C-alpha cells in the first residue's frame, strides 16, 4: 500500500516509518512526504533515502480549503491510499477528513481520550497519572478523536519532567506507529462504528 506522510517538524515518527518500510515484508511504502513548513527537519530524512517530498506551505494559501486541495492533489498524484499524520500541526477541515475517511490516521502522545490537544505531558504530570502512552487512531473531525487502532502504555516516573516523559513516550511511538500502519495496510484493522476491529494475523 502506498502511503503519504504529513509532517510539520522533526519527523522522528516519519523516520520510524521509513525504517519499517525498508524491511522487505512491510506492507506499506512511503510514496510521498508532505510538509506544511519549508524548514521541517523531517524533509531531509526522506530526501536522504530518495523518498519524494513536497512542501505545501499553508501560509501561501488564502484559505484552508485551498491548502487542503493542494495536499489532496499531491497525495492522489502520488497514488497514496493511506495518509499518516506524523507531527502535522495543522487542524484539518471536516471536508478533508471526509475525503479521506478511514484512510487518514494520526499519532498522539497520550492514552486517548486522556489529554488530547497540546501540552499532553505537562497535563499528565499535573494530573498525577502513573501511566501514560501513545495512541494511533483514525482521524475524525474533532481533534484527537476517532477509532483507536493501537495504544502503547508508558510508566510515569516520580522525577519526570515533561521533557523526560515526552522522550519515553516518543520511544514507544516509534514502535507503535509502524505496527499500526502495518495493521491498516494489511487490511487487518477495520473501522466498525466507533471502534476498530483487529483481525487475527494469517498463520
Ligand atoms: C509526536 O510526539 C507525535 O505524537 C505528535 O507530535 C510529535 C511529532 O514528533 N503528534 P516527530 O516530528 O515525529 O518527531
User: Which domains are present in the chain?
Assistant: 1-100 (3.40.50.170), 107-203 (3.40.50.170)
The residue nearest atom 12 of ligand 1, judged by CA position, is 11
> What would the mean pLDDT of 52-74 be, rounded to a whole number?
97
How much is the pLDDT for 116?
97
ipTM for the whole complex = 0.98
Per-residue pLDDT tens for 70-104?
999 999 999 999 999 999 999 999 999 999 999 99
Is the shortest distance between the CB of 150 and ligand 1 below 6 Å?
no
The larger pLDDT score, comparing residue 10 to residue 201, is at 10
Helix count (H) and strand count (E) of the chain?
Answer: 6, 9
Map residue 192 onto helix, strand or coil: strand
Of 94, 169, 184, which is closest to residue 137 (Cα–Cα)? Answer: 184
How much is the pLDDT for 201?
86
Give the mean pLDDT of the chain. 97
Of 150, 152, 117, which is closest to residue 136 (Cα–Cα)? Answer: 150
Give strand pairing partners of 4.
32, 83
Of 107, 89, 130, which is closest to residue 181 (Cα–Cα)? Answer: 107
> CB under 8 Å to 62, separation ≥6 — which residues?
none
Share of the chain above pLDDT 70, in %: 100
Confidence of residue 203 (pLDDT cuts 50, 70, 90): low
Per-residue pLDDT tens for 96-144?
999 999 999 999 999 999 999 999 999 999 999 999 999 999 999 999 9
CB 149, CB 138: distance < 8 Å? yes
Catalytic status, residue 157: no
Which stretches does DSSP call E strand in the chain?
2-7, 29-35, 53-55, 82-85, 104-108, 131-138, 148-155, 189-192, 195-198
Is pLDDT at 202 greater than 90 in this prediction?
no
Q: What is the DSSP string of 47-64?
A: HHTT--EEE--GGG-SSH
CA of 164 to the centre of ligand 1 (A): 15
Confidence of residue 152 (pLDDT cuts 50, 70, 90): very high
d(CA 163, CA 172): 15
- DSSP class of residue 23? S
> Counting atoms of ligand 1 from 1, which one is nearest the CA of 8?
12
Amino acid at each position: 500500500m502506498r502511503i503519504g506522510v504529513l509532517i510539520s517538524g522533526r519527523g522522528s515518527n516519519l523516520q520510524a516509518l521509513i525504517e519499517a518500510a525498508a524491511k522487505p515484508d512491510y506492507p506499506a511504502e512511503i510514496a510521498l512526504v508532505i510538509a506544511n513548513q519549508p524548514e521541517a527537519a523531517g524533509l531531509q530524512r526522506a530526501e536522504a533515502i530518495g523518498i519524494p517530498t513536497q512542501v505545501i506551505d499553508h501560509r501561501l494559501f488564502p484559505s484552508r480549503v485551498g491548502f487542503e486541495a493542494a495536499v489532496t492533489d499531491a497525495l492522489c498524484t502520488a497514488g497514496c491510499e493511506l495518509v499518516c499524520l506524523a507531527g502535522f500541526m495543522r487542524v484539518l477541515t471536516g471536508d478533508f477528513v471526509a475525503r479521506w475517511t478511514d484512510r487518514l490516521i494520526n499519532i498522539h502522545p497520550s492514552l486517548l481520550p486522556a489529554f488530547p490537544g497540546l501540552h499532553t505531558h505537562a497535563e499528565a504530570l499535573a494530573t498525577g497519572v502513573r501511566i501514560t502512552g501513545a495512541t494511533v487512531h483514525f482521524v475524525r473531525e474533532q481533534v484527537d478523536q476517532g477509532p483507536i487502532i493501537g495504544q502503547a502504555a508508558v510508566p510515569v516516573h516520580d522525577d519526570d519532567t515533561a521533557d523526560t516523559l515526552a522522550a519515553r513516550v516518543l520511544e514507544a511511538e516509534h514502535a507503535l506507529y509502524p505496527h499500526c500502519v502495518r495493521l491498516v495496510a494489511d487490511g487487518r484493522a477495520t473501522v466498525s462504528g466507533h471502534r476498530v476491529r483487529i483481525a487475527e494475523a494469517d498463520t
